[in-house]
Structure 1
């Protein structure tokens, strides 16, 4: 083919007046299309997560089994589980965010109930109890728990609590000193412990709850009950109640009040004549001076004791036998001391 013919052919295949796109425009066009495709994928993904969460939540509500009994408190219903028929009563209070307290304490309840009447209270927003719009400050929480016990005609008991129950408990025993015969903390919080002045991202937690991403995170996380002695049915119920109660408005309101509740408790101390025992983590690296903080709390008690156990924050999941056995021995010694 001659040069003249080649030039003629080239002109015939080129659109008149239109120059080829520069390379940077081609790259920009590709990136724009890729971005649009990615946005569409994200929207579809979030839509699927949202729908799955709504459908699953509705389905699980029908699978959650009742336990305990509902008692009237402040115009609502609070769930309380009672097990055992012993002469002495133990009232159990949960740590913050424990979604199904009566089930969470099951292993410990089974160890204590042959000797005591054990009453596991699920405050509003926990377990099978109603939600509430009432502010989750210590005064309201303590008053509601007390009202539940009054409804059941329980007026003399040992108060045993996990984690933040140490904050609510110190207020409780001062308000109802004539009803509480002893306080027992299970890795319980101390008003003066550090690191509690945290501003929680409540809006982000609310978004996780409403969008269904919170459910996805729970599903993708390691099973917190793996290897523990709970039966499979109980584990299944606790998982469903975790998905139901986590990041609920009642829980988020209590989260908002955590630091103010700690500050309010700093002016309080346990009554000197109240038997006081703490089961705490042996190696808590998250809170500075964890053991000395508890030793400070018992220093003026007529019969105070701190026992360290190897385990994580939920000591009653793994050390329930040790807690029950040592608690019983402690109470026997406390009775001898008071005679």
Structure 2
């Protein structure tokens, strides 16, 4: 009996020691994590304030709803092209630069940076299609731009189809750059907004970017432009305005579901030829032009950001198409 009790006591002591060691290890891990998060947060605050001073202004500010919307105008052609970015394109005017440089010798090119993007202010207004379209239109009105071709990338296909139906007397044509289609599948997804907000505000998103691949590697952008795009991206990525827009993606697609482009509106769609992410990507776009009096789908090999690599071909096709449309 005595030996049994001694064994029990010994085992109990060992268990206590093991438990104590485990608790110390867990406590040490927690402390390391807390310290790591604290350092990441502080570095994020310092870097954000420091990098903000390195950003070089471009374009001009237009007052919309009492806030500043940034707009870049390049070229002095008789016809005007208004460029709208895809969702999450942090620096629209710089992201479109290669295409703008190809178009501006022939057109007046107006690149609008919606609220939350580029050098535009953020806004607390809900990022519904109605509000986004209304704000872009108001900016153009402030600039006395009343007749133009609308050209948009990605989700601008959703905003654009609403826009051309609201302002048919202003828009002379719509050009989509791998633009979204209201009926494409998979847009009823719910995004982890709280998680994305935490990544932004904690500084973990900035930390992760240090180890991510350079999205501009091998492209024709000059070093200065890439530097500025990276600086601005770190400022605006996952800001409250963009996250609010993300939260409205599903409802904005639903709202556009039954919309079609006007039959008499020239419609030119540049489409990624081998998109594996969306089922029936090419047929979806072909369906958009089937009733158009002057519609065309141009298939291109490349990434979703066709304007990063096919900017010359896009510009040439736009000029040819618009001459034919007349």
TM-score bracket relative to the smaller structure: over 0.9
Matches within 5 A, 1:272-287: 272-287=263-278
User: Where does 1:91-102 land on structure 2 (aligned, <5 Å)?
Assistant: 91-102=82-93
TM-score, normalising length: structure 2: 0.96
**How does 1:177-196 map onto structure 2 within 5 Å?**
177-196=168-187
Tell me: CA distance 1:21–1:181, structure 2 relative to 1, closer, same or farther (3 Å).
same
Partner of 1:271: 262
Q: How far, CA to CA, are the matches of 2:178 and 2:251 in structure 1?
A: 20
Among 238, 246, 250, the alignment partner of 2:237 is 246
Residue of structure 2 in register with 1:77 after alignment = 68
- Is 1:220 aligned to 2:184, yes or no? no
2:302 aligns with one of 305, 311, 314: 311
1:302 alignment partner in structure 2? 293
Alignment match, 1:174:
165
The CA RMSD measured in Å over matched residues stands at: 1.2
Aligned mates of 1:197, 1:218 — CA distance in 2: 28
1:32-51 alignment runs, 5 A limit: 32-51=23-42
Q: 1:59 aligns with which of 50, 56, 71?
A: 50
TM-score normalised to the size of structure 1? 0.92
Distance 2:118 2:203 in 1: 20
Asked which structure has the greater CA Rg, the reply is 1
Match of 1:134, SS state, is coil
- Unaligned 5+ runs, structure 2: 1-8
Once residues 295 and 19 of structure 1 are traced to their aligned partners in structure 2, the CA distance between those partners, rounded to angstroms, is 78
CA distance in 2, matches of 1:296, 1:219: 42
Give the whole-Å Cα distance in 1 for the aligned partners of 2:297 and 2:168. Answer: 21
Shift of residue 19 of structure 1? Answer: 6.3
- For each residue in 1:247-271, what CA deviation from the matched residue of structure 2 results, as whole angstroms up to 9, or x when unmatched? 1110010000001000000121100
2:6 match: none
Aligned to 1:13: none
Q: 1:135 aligns with which of 100, 121, 126?
A: 126
Q: Please say which of residues 236-245 and 123-132 is displaced more in the overlay.
A: 236-245
> What SS is found at the alignment partner of 1:144?
helix
Aligned-pair CA distance for 1:23: 3.5
